[in-house]
Amino acid sequence: ISPVFIKPKNFQVSGSLKTPLIRHR
């Protein structure tokens, strides 16, 4: 999960599951 929001690219892909992270963007 850490690498998810650490990487902007993966952040969008895996972030989909973690909407809160994308919403913060």
- Which pLDDT does position 11 carry in this prediction? 52
- Whether 15 and 24 have beta carbons less than 8 Å apart is answered as no
- Which pLDDT does position 23 carry in this prediction? 57
Phi first, then psi, for residue 18 (nearest 5°) are -105, 75
- Which pLDDT does position 10 carry in this prediction? 53
Domain ranges of the chain: 1-25
Indicate the pTM of the whole model: 0.12
CA distance 6 to 13: 12
- Written as six digits, the tokens of 21 are 């992270």
* DSSP code at position 7: S
User: In this predicted model, what pLDDT tens digit does every residue of 1-25 receive, in sequence order?
Assistant: 555 555 565 555 555 565 555 555 5
